[in-house]
Amino acid sequence: MAALLAAVQRPARYLGQEINSICRDPRQAEVHLALAFPDLYEVGMSHLGLKILYALANDLPGVYVERVFAPAADLEQILRKEKIPLFSLESRTALNRFDLVGFTLQYELSYTAILLMLDCGAIPLHSSQREDNDPFILGGGPLAYNPEPLAPFFDLLVIGDAEEALPELLELYRAWKKRGRRGRRHFLREAALLPGIYVPSLYRDHYDKSGKFAGISALTGEAALPVRKRVVTDLEKAVYPRCFIVPYMEIVHDRAVLELFRGCSQGCRFCQAGYIYRPVRERPVEKLREQAGQMIAGTGFSELSLASLSSSDYSAINKLVSALEEDFAGEQVELSLPSLRADTHAVRLACRLQKGKAAGVTIAPEAGTQRLRDAINKKITEDDVLEAAAVALQEYGSHVKLYFMLGLPTETLADLEGMAELVRKISMIGRGGKGRKKGPSPINVSVSTFVPKVHTPFQWEPQLAVAEIRSRLDFLRRELRKSKGVSFSSHDTGMSLLEAVLARGDRRLAAVVERAYQLGSRLDAWHDRFSLSRWEEALSRANLSARDYAGYAPAHNDPLPWDHLSTGIDKEFLIREHRRAMEGTITPACRNGICAGCGLENCSHSEHGRAQ
């Protein structure tokens, strides 16, 4: 191992032995689970879900959970050359010696890294090739709501919150192992009976003569249609790690994190998280305060992030921030608010917490005109954005980062001009601000490309063709150059295309993912490793085209490859929201007793709504 650590870049990625990591003898474990994040250590270790499940499952009797991350190119080469299987960080157990390996599905560009890890871990890539002594491969996370492009590689997927589903599954596994660990298919059929567990091999996909998706059917009685997501209703009682593992190397989000609430009720129509994580469930202030104290004392982190999908929507945000400021007075703990709505109060709070540091605030108008913001249901006005930016620039001399999305449904040239105009107005505030010295540009414009996501009202919308995206980006770049002090960055169009292909893909894409992996694709989210041409080759060998998937615009009554997986939201509601988008009508956030009627059960807002 010492020789291996000496031979790679950034060896702390593979060292393990961090403070708060859990080391036990794996031979004593009745159920040995690997939590796998299909990216490098510094990315995977920044992910909150992994930390929650690590704490949760390690607390279950007889269960031992370890972490494993994707190998970088240099380690991959050594593993292959020396015929060493990919190993876990804690006990350095080969991946194929685990009982189960659970992957989190966070972004489409991590798919090939799953195959990389299975391959390097000496586990057969296909569920159908695995035998009784191979681990079960499970998946979960937001992209499990359409795992079809990965269907043949996974034995099981957890749909929705894993806090309750995972312990049930592990308990079932323990019983199966005790009975002699024989008959994988039998175990899978039993597991399929658990709510929220999807076993892809128990379903078959169908296409019509023209190659159009025609639906999915269950092959056995155990396979539910649809599989409904699991929801942790009481977040107050849900497990949260007392302490995070403290990494030796610098990771992407190198800080303590509190999860203020799960879900978001704003209902921005492009945002998948806003639909799949419903309903909103808050943690109470006192609980968060207790968690914050334990976390800082147990990790030594000097930053605490108050995370959620829209942190300023937390109902007691002021009370929480004051309480935490009081708790950490004199302790050099910086609080940060990562996801803000554009309102002056939230921006003032965020700027105050930064205490004059150059981190700056991020405002996400998403679209350049009120018409388009209404269409996507982003309920902020130009005045909101301008006032929020003025607070950051003038009152705090802070930097402002603006997020926009290009190619949203119904976008026209006027919307792009509006975007440039809004940026110009903000850049004028900056220069008008008193006491601002000339220096680095205070405004950073970041533009991503619209990717239609499943289970949103825009799942029926196509992504623009790449040439059109490029020409719109060029137009924006030219327009923004007219404003001084504005820097512009945009998401790679090739990556956005691939995201769109995989996000709404069907099972036929599995052969493409596998082929792309064989052609050398791994860690596609890294610019230095990404190659669209490999993917194009893989698609063409399967007689499929990227455009057919990315530009797919199904009718509302067409069957969709992810229809058999349910977020609990009525498809009728999504259709209604899609129509309202086309009309440019907003739908209010489902809080304060207002219910948009999404059909979700066990939602306090819907009960409220029904009572009215």
The distance of closest approach from Cβ of residue 3 to another protein in the complex, given in angstroms and rounded to an integer, is 7
DSSP 462: P
The distance of closest approach from Cβ of residue 357 to another protein in the complex, given in angstroms and rounded to an integer, is 6
Q: Does 528 bind another protein (CB under 8 A)?
A: no
The distance of closest approach from Cβ of residue 10 to another protein in the complex, given in angstroms and rounded to an integer, is 8
Would you say 15 or 323 has its CB closer to another protein? 15
Handedness of CA 512, 514, 517, 523 (dihedral sign): positive
Would you say 246 or 519 has its CB closer to another protein? 246
The distance of closest approach from Cβ of residue 251 to another protein in the complex, given in angstroms and rounded to an integer, is 11
Would you say 436 or 591 has its CB closer to another protein? 436
Does residue 347 contact residue 361 with C-beta atoms inside 8 Å? yes
Start-to-end C-alpha separation, the chain: 65
* Polymer length in residues for the chain: 612
What three-state secondary structure class fits 178? helix
Site string for another protein, 75-94 (x = CB under 8 A): --------------------
Does residue 179 contact residue 140 with C-beta atoms inside 8 Å? no
Window of 137-145, 292-300, 388-396, 570-578 that interacts with another protein by CB under 8 A: 292-300
Closest CA to 145 of 498, 450, 562: 562
The distance of closest approach from Cβ of residue 283 to another protein in the complex, given in angstroms and rounded to an integer, is 24
User: In this structure, how many other beta carbons lie within 10 angstroms of the beta carbon of residue 49?
Assistant: 17
* DSSP track, 69-102: EPPPHHHHHHHHHHTPPPB-SSS--BGGGSSEEE
Structure tokens at 172: 């079932």
Q: Which of 49, 298, 485, 597 binds another protein (CB under 8 A)?
A: 298
Q: Does 234 bind another protein (CB under 8 A)?
A: no
Would you say 250 or 528 has its CB closer to another protein? 250
The distance of closest approach from Cβ of residue 51 to another protein in the complex, given in angstroms and rounded to an integer, is 16
Would you say 65 or 243 has its CB closer to another protein? 243
Handedness of CA 431, 435, 440, 442 (dihedral sign): negative
At residue 163's C-alpha, the angle toward residues 199 and 286, to 5°, is: 160
Would you say 245 or 501 has its CB closer to another protein? 245
The distance of closest approach from Cβ of residue 295 to another protein in the complex, given in angstroms and rounded to an integer, is 11
Does residue 343 contact residue 379 with C-beta atoms inside 8 Å? no
The distance of closest approach from Cβ of residue 11 to another protein in the complex, given in angstroms and rounded to an integer, is 4
The distance of closest approach from Cβ of residue 92 to another protein in the complex, given in angstroms and rounded to an integer, is 11
Q: Does 332 bind another protein (CB under 8 A)?
A: yes
Q: At what angle do helices 466-480 and 413-432 cross, to 10 degrees?
A: 30
In Å, what is the CA distance from 527 to each residue of 34, 372, 521?
Answer: 28, 31, 12
Q: Does 463 bind another protein (CB under 8 A)?
A: no
The distance of closest approach from Cβ of residue 397 to another protein in the complex, given in angstroms and rounded to an integer, is 11
Q: Does 250 bind another protein (CB under 8 A)?
A: yes
Question: For residue 424, which amino acid is it?
Answer: R
Q: Which of 284, 356, 432, 520 binds another protein (CB under 8 A)?
A: 356
Closest CA to 561 of 111, 215, 157: 215
Window of 197-205, 245-253, 450-458, 486-494 that interacts with another protein by CB under 8 A: 245-253
- Distance from chain centroid for Cα 56: 20
| Cα 130 from Cα 185, distance rounded (Å) | 10
Q: Which of residues 4-23 bind another protein (CB under 8 A)?
A: 5-6, 11-12, 15, 17, 19
Q: Does 246 bind another protein (CB under 8 A)?
A: yes
Would you say 237 or 437 has its CB closer to another protein? 437
Q: Does 398 bind another protein (CB under 8 A)?
A: no
Would you say 110 or 299 has its CB closer to another protein? 299
Does residue 402 contact residue 355 with C-beta atoms inside 8 Å? no
Residues near another protein (CB under 8 A) are 1-3, 5-6, 11-12, 15, 17, 19, 246, 248-250, 297-302, 332, 355-357
